[in-house]
Amino acid sequence: MEGKEEDVKLGANKYSERQPLGTAAQTREKDYKEPGPAPLFEPGELASWSFWRAGIAEFMATFLFLYITILTVMGVKRADNVCTGSVGIQGIAWAFGGMIFCLVYCTAGISGGHINPAVTFGLFLARKLSLPRAVFYMICQCLGAICGAGVVKGFMEGEYQADGGGANSVAHGYTKGDGLGAEIVGTFVLVYTVFSATDAKRSARDSHVPLLAPLPIGFAVFLVHLATIPITGTGINPARSSGAAIIYNKSRVWDDHWIFWVGPFLGAGLAAIYHQMIIRAIPFKTRS
């Protein structure tokens, strides 16, 4: 009986089994609390240890992300044939998706587990964090990415320079417009998944089915990489693209580098607008 009472408190039995969780269910009283918008500037935030701890967590997560993923890319590049190498293109996609799953799981309770300036930007537009925190996260993410790529180069400098350093660029046969479009849509998929997986409403409605948010987020990264590695090498993360480009530092990667900032930020902005205004209709809700 104690378990049953606890389930009721958590909202698991808010609706009967025959009650559809659609528009009819939405007319019922809320079984979740809509979090208010974060202030643009939060007084005293810079003086709190949680603020700096979150930035350190973002730095370390992005460092580890670049270290594992760029090493994986280098392993595939060194193979005679990407299809017969140790992991292949599918393995690269799994490395990126798997690391995001692990790192979001590890850091979500500390910083939110962004590990991507585009994700931070999208969440900032949705007023999920303050402006100083968003800027601080982006700086820490970029620094972590530079350090992660730098450690890989330290392990294998000759191969690193010869094999492109894992840096992103638009592949031959594709235009800059193709690359920009791939980055916009790919980042839209990622950030939309982030919003949906962490939505307070979804957590309440599906509270009887535990939702592990890092899993769909990592899987989204995996799928986007499968689709767009042949086009741009898959950026969808300005920190990842910048870290590899800065350490590799060859002119050809800088020619298209703007795509890996503009595309992800546009995709993240569109995902934030779509989720907040269309899916949740938050601007149109009357506050009780």
Q: Tell me, what's the pLDDT at 206?
A: 53
Q: Residues 6 or more apart from 248 whose CB is under 8 A from it?
A: 149, 153, 160, 161, 164, 165, 166, 167
Q: Tell me, what's the pLDDT at 80?
A: 61
pTM of the model: 0.84
Q: Tell me, what's the pLDDT at 205?
A: 57
Which CATH number applies to 45-158+176-278: 1.20.1080.10, 2.60.40.10, 2.30.30.30, 3.30.450.20?
1.20.1080.10
Per-domain boundaries in the chain? 45-158+176-278
Low-confidence spans in the chain with pLDDT less than 50: 4-28, 207-210, 288
Residue 32 vs residues 130, 131, 199, 212: alpha-carbon distances, Å:
23, 26, 10, 18
Task: Reduce the secondary structure of the chain to three states and give it as a string.
Answer: CHHHHHHHHHCCCCCCCCCCCCHHHHCCCCCCCCCCCCCCCCCCHHHCHHHHHHHHHHHHHHHHHHHHHHHHHHHHHHCCCCCCCCCHHHHHHHHHHHHHHHHHHHHCCCCCCCCCHHHHHHHHHCCCCCHHHHHHHHHHHHHHHHHHHHHHHHHCHHHHHHCHHHCCCCCCCCCHHHHHHHHHHHHHHHHHHHHHHCCHHHHHHCCCCCCCCHHHHHHHHHHHHHHHHHHHCCCCCHHHHHHHHHHHCCHHHHHCCCHHHHHHHHHHHHHHHHHHHHHCCHHHCCCC
* Residues 225-259 pLDDT 10s: 999 999 999 999 999 999 999 999 988 889 999 99
